[in-house]
Chains A and B, each alone.
Chain A
C-alpha cells in the first residue's frame, strides 16, 4: 500500500474520532460534565444506523438481528439511518442525563460509565438484537458498488430515477468537497496583512468568489462547487482522470504549503534547527526496530535512544530559555519534519536501494497525486514519459475521506457556533459556578441536559460513520477504552478548544498508526506485548499532558472574544456570518 493510502485512511479515522470526541469536548470542555460513558452513544449510533441498511433478517442463516430495513423504500438507506441514529443517541443521552446529571461529578462519571457498560452487555447478551457476541456484518457503505471509479459505470439516482455516468459525478462530488474544505482552511489562514501567495491562491481557488463580500463558508462552497463541476465536466468529455487527480492533489498541496509556511514564519532559525534535530533524532531512535536482528536489541536499543532523546529534550527545556519558551513549537517543527520524511523520503529508500530510479519516481508521483490510487490490476492505464506506465483509479477510501472531512468540519463549525453564542456562554458559566448561573435566572440543569443531548448526538453520529467505515460491528469495539481515548484526545488539544480536538485526534492516531507499523517488526508471539506497551505509553502521555499541559497543547480558546461591533451591527439577519461565529481564535 502506498503511503498516500495509509495517510488517507489515517485522516478518515481521525475525522471519525474527532467527531466522537467533539461530543466530549462539548460535554466536558464546555459544560464540565465528565461523561465516562460517552462510548455508549457511539454504540447506539453505530447499531441504529446499521439496522437501516441491513437486509431483512433471514431466519435460516447464522446471523440474527432485530431489524433490517434496507428493502424499505425511502427509509432503507444510510442518509435516514445516520439521521435517526444521531437523533436516537441524542434522545437516549437526554434520558440518561435527566436522572444522573444532578449527581456529584464523580458519581455522575461512574453512573454513566455504568450505563455504557449496560449498553455493551445488552448487545453482547441479546443474540436476537444484533447477533449477540458475534460480529454483525452484511451491509455495505453507501455507493460502495460504484468504486473504484472507472470511466463507464452508471449511477442510479435515488428517488428521481434515471442514471448518470458514475465516474464524473462521484469524482466531482469528492473533488468539490476536498476543494471546499481546503478553501475553508485557507480562508482561516488569511492574515489581515494579506500575504500575497495566500490571498492569490484563495482568490484563484475560489474562482474569484473571494473577491466578493462573501463569508468564509460561502467562498468555500462556491469554490468547491465550481471546481467539482469543472472537473466533472472534464471527465465527462475525456478520459482525463489522471489530469483531474493531479489538479485536485496539487491544489491541496498548495494550500498545505501556504498553511505550513504561515506557521513556519513564527519559528526562529534555531527553533527550526532544534525541531529538525528532534525529528531526526526520533527517526534514528526508531531505527533499531526494523534493522536490529534480535528482539532484545530492538527493544533495548530503541528504548535507550528514546530515553536519551527525551532526556536531552528535558535538559534543553531546563537549561535554555528560548527552548523552554518554544518547546511546543519545536515539537511541532520536529513532527512536521518527521512526517515529511516519512511521507516523501522513506518510501523512496527501497526502490533507490534497488537502483530502480523510475520506480522511485513513480512512488514519489503516486504519493504526490494522493487523490488517485495507483497500481493494481483494475483502473485506467496511462503511459507517462519518465514514469512509465501507470494504472490509476479512485478508490472508495477517497470518497469516504471527502465525506468524513466534510462532516468533521461541520461538527467543528457547529461547536464554534455553539461555543461563541450566548448559549455557549451559559455553558461556560455552568462549568465555572452553577450557583452564579442560578442566581442570574438561568436553570443550569436545562443547559446541562441540552449539552448532554447534543454531545451524545455527536457521539451517535460518529458511531454511524464508524459503522460505515468498518463495515462490521462487534460489541468488543465499544469498550470503556473508547471513552478513555476520546478523553485523551480532548485533553491533548485542550479541553475546551475546538481546534484542539482535531489536533488531539491526529496525535492519537498518528501514535496508534506508528506503533502498529513498528509492532509488525516484532515476532508475532510478542506483538500482544508490544501493542500493550503502546497503551502504557498512551497512559503516560495522558499523565504528562494532564500535569504539564493542563490546558492542552493549544491552550484555552477564548470564545468570549469581544465582538467587532462595526461588523456585527452591519450583519443582516441570515446574511453572512457574524464575526464572532467565525475564526479569530489563536494558537
Chain B
C-alpha cells in the first residue's frame, strides 16, 4: 500500500507558498519600511510582471504587439527590435532613476570614473541584456529576464510620478494607503484594458534531459519517507498513466541517521560560535544554517545506499511535489541570498539600512536618501516581476487578480515580521505554512479559506503583540 499524504506534505507545500509570498513580501516590506508606502498596488505589480513576460513568451497573444508577430510564438525583425529596445530601455531606465543623466554617467558607482566609461559600461550592459532576451525569444527564461528589467524601470516611475508628489505634501500614512489603493486600481485595470478578460498562460518547454532521460519538471513526483525498524528510506516515484516508476531510492541505517544529525548540529554550533558577533555577510545564524545544510546534503549523498524498500514500515508518509516547486523554493532562496549580500556587503545596502533606521539621521550623514528610495523601488519591481512570472507558470493561468489574491498574504507576512526585510521573509514562511497546514489539518476547511487563514494568523498575532513578531514595543 502506498503511503498517504500527511502533514509533512502540507508543510512542504507551505514552504513553496511561503517562498512565493516572500518574493513579493520582500519588495513590499522594503517599500513599506524605507519609502513609507504601505503599497496596496504591490500585488498588481506581480500581475504586471506576469503579463509583461507574455510579450516575449507569446507575442502573438498580446494585443497591439501582435501586429509584429509572425506566429503565436514568433516575432519578425521589427518585433525583436522592439523587445530589444524595451529591454535596453529597462536597464538604462533603472539606472536613470538612480540620479538622472549623471547616474547614467556612473555617478552612483561610488568610484570616480570618467563619464564616457560610465556611459559605455551602462550601454554595454543594456545591450547585453537586450541581446540575451532577443536570443532567448520566446523561451521562458528570456521572458523572465524581460519582465524583470522592464519592471525595474517601470515600478520606480510610480514613486517619482505619484508617491513622491504626495510625500512632498506631507500626507499621513493613512492617505498614502488610499493613494496606493488608487494606484492598484490604475495598474490592474490598465492591464485589463490592454489584455482584456481572457485567461492567459505561458508556453514552456517542460521536459529537460536529465542523466540521459527526459524529465518533465512540472510533473508531480512522489517522495515517500518510510521509517522501519532498521532505518529510514526515502524513495522518489513518478506516476504516469497509471504506471509508477521508481526514480531514486535512498536508504539510511539508524547509525547513519544519528551520525548525520550529530555532525550537522555540531557544524551548526561551530559555525554559530565562529561567526558570533560578526556583522558580515555570513552572520552566526546563516553560518549555522548553511553549515548544517551542507553536511546533510553531502552526507546524505555519500551515505546513501541499501535501496531496499521496507515492506512493512512503522511510519510512512508521502510528499507530493514537482521539481518546479522545489525550484521555486531554490530561486526564492537564491534571490534572498542576493538581497542579503546587497544589504550587508555593499555601500548601497548600508545606506539602505541606515535609511530604514532613521531617515533624517541618514540624510544628515550625507546619504542620498532619494537614491536609496529609488533603489528600493527598483528592487521591489524586480522581485515582483520574478514572483509574478513564477506564479503565472506555477498556476498556469494568468488573470488580472493573480497578484491581488497574493497581496493579502504578503501584507500579513510583512506585518507579522514587523515591517523589515528579514522579518517579512520569516513572516511570509509563517503565513505560507499556516495557510497550507490549516487547510490540511482542519476538516471541512476548503482551499477557498487560504487567504482567510493568513488573516486569522495575522489577527491573532496582532491581538497579542500589536507591533508584529519581530517588532519592538
Q: Which residues of A contact B (CB under 8 A)?
A: 32, 34, 36, 99-100, 102-107, 109-111, 113-115, 117-118, 121-122, 124-125, 484, 487, 491, 525-526, 528-530, 532-533, 535-536, 538-540, 542-543, 546-547, 550
Choose among A32, A34, A547 the residue that contacts B177 (Cβ–Cβ < 8 A). A34
Q: Which residues of B contact A (CB under 8 A)?
A: 38, 162, 165-166, 169, 171-175, 177-179, 181-186, 188-190, 192-194, 196-197, 408, 411-412, 415, 446, 448-449, 451-452, 454-456, 458-459, 462-463, 466
Question: In the complex the two chains form, is A117's CB within 8 Å of B408's CB?
Answer: yes
Asked, given contacts A117-B452, A125-B446, whether A529 binds B177 with beta carbons under 8 Å apart, the answer is no
Give the residues in chain A near B177, CB-CB below 8 Å. 34, 36, 105-106, 109
Question: In the complex the two chains form, is A529's CB within 8 Å of B165's CB?
Answer: no
CA distance A542 to B175 in the complex (A): 12
CA distance A539 to B452 in the complex (A): 27
Give the residues in chain A near B412, CB-CB below 8 Å. 110, 114
Give the nearest-CB partner of A528 in chain B. Answer: B197
The smallest beta-carbon distance between B447 and chain A, in angstroms, is 9
Question: In the complex the two chains form, is B415's CB within 8 Å of A110's CB?
Answer: yes
Question: In the complex the two chains form, is B455's CB within 8 Å of A125's CB?
Answer: no
Question: In the complex the two chains form, is B174's CB within 8 Å of A105's CB?
Answer: yes
| A-B pairs with lowest CB-CB distance, top 3 | A114-B455, A532-B192, A539-B185
Choose among A125, A487, A530, A539 the residue that contacts B186 (Cβ–Cβ < 8 A). A539
Chain B interface, DSSP helix/strand/loop, else mixed: helix
Question: In the complex the two chains form, is B166's CB within 8 Å of A121's CB?
Answer: no
Question: In the complex the two chains form, is A542's CB within 8 Å of B455's CB?
Answer: no
Question: In the complex the two chains form, is B452's CB within 8 Å of A535's CB?
Answer: no
Asked, given contacts A539-B186, A543-B162, whether A528 binds B452 with beta carbons under 8 Å apart, the answer is no
Question: In the complex the two chains form, is A546's CB within 8 Å of B174's CB?
Answer: no
Give the residues in chain B near A484, CB-CB below 8 Å. 181-182, 185
Give the residues in chain A near B165, CB-CB below 8 Å. 547
The smallest beta-carbon distance between B26 and chain A, in angstroms, is 18
Question: In the complex the two chains form, is A528's CB within 8 Å of B196's CB?
Answer: yes
Asked, given contacts A102-B466, A107-B415, A109-B177, whether A536 binds B162 with beta carbons under 8 Å apart, the answer is no
Asked, given contacts A114-B412, A121-B448, A543-B179, whether A529 binds B185 with beta carbons under 8 Å apart, the answer is no
Choose among B171, B174, B185, B446 the residue that contacts A106 (Cβ–Cβ < 8 A). B174
Choose among B175, B196, B197 the residue that contacts A546 (Cβ–Cβ < 8 A). B175
The smallest beta-carbon distance between B404 and chain A, in angstroms, is 8
Give the residues in chain B near A36, CB-CB below 8 Å. 177, 181
Give the residues in chain A near B449, CB-CB below 8 Å. 121, 125
Give the residues in chain A near B197, CB-CB below 8 Å. 528, 532
Give the residues in chain A near B462, CB-CB below 8 Å. 99-100, 103, 107, 111
Assuming A118-B452, A122-B452, A546-B178, what are 4 further A-B pairs, CB within 8 angstroms? A100-B459, A529-B194, A536-B186, A539-B184
How many A-B residue pairs have C-beta atoms within 8 angstroms? Tell me: 128
Give the nearest-CB partner of B188 in chain A. Answer: A535
Give the residues in chain B near A125, CB-CB below 8 Å. 446, 448-449
Question: In the complex the two chains form, is A114's CB within 8 Å of B458's CB?
Answer: yes
CA distance A351 to B157 in the complex (A): 51
Choose among B171, B193, B408 the residue that contacts A529 (Cβ–Cβ < 8 A). B193
Question: In the complex the two chains form, is A533's CB within 8 Å of B178's CB?
Answer: no
CA distance A103 to B173 in the complex (A): 13
CA distance A99 to B458 in the complex (A): 12
The smallest beta-carbon distance between A462 and chain B, in angstroms, is 20
Give the nearest-CB partner of B445 in chain A. Answer: A125
Asked, given contacts A102-B466, A103-B462, A121-B452, whether A532 binds B175 with beta carbons under 8 Å apart, the answer is no
Question: In the complex the two chains form, is A536's CB within 8 Å of B459's CB?
Answer: no
CA distance A111 to B415 in the complex (A): 10
The smallest beta-carbon distance between B371 and chain A, in angstroms, is 24
Choose among A34, A114, A546 the residue that contacts B452 (Cβ–Cβ < 8 A). A114
CA distance A528 to B196 in the complex (A): 6
CA distance A474 to B116 in the complex (A): 62
Choose among A103, A115, A487, A525 the residue that contacts B178 (Cβ–Cβ < 8 A). A487
Q: Can you list 12 A-B pairs with a CB-CB distance of less than 8 A?
A: A32-B174, A102-B466, A105-B173, A105-B177, A110-B408, A121-B448, A125-B449, A528-B196, A529-B193, A536-B193, A539-B183, A540-B182
Question: In the complex the two chains form, is B448's CB within 8 Å of A536's CB?
Answer: no
Give the residues in chain B near A113, CB-CB below 8 Å. 408
CA distance A103 to B460 in the complex (A): 12
Question: In the complex the two chains form, is A533's CB within 8 Å of B189's CB?
Answer: yes
The smallest beta-carbon distance between B198 and chain A, in angstroms, is 9
The smallest beta-carbon distance between B462 and chain A, in angstroms, is 6
CA distance A111 to B408 in the complex (A): 9
Give the residues in chain A near B192, CB-CB below 8 Å. 528-529, 532, 535
The smallest beta-carbon distance between B273 and chain A, in angstroms, is 38
Give the residues in chain B near A487, CB-CB below 8 Å. 178, 181
Question: In the complex the two chains form, is A546's CB within 8 Å of B194's CB?
Answer: no
Give the nearest-CB partner of B198 in chain A. Answer: A528
Question: In the complex the two chains form, is A114's CB within 8 Å of B459's CB?
Answer: yes
Give the nearest-CB partner of B412 in chain A. Answer: A114
CA distance A90 to B459 in the complex (A): 20
Question: In the complex the two chains form, is B174's CB within 8 Å of A111's CB?
Answer: no
The smallest beta-carbon distance between A280 and chain B, in angstroms, is 28
Question: In the complex the two chains form, is B181's CB within 8 Å of A124's CB?
Answer: no
Question: In the complex the two chains form, is A532's CB within 8 Å of B193's CB?
Answer: yes
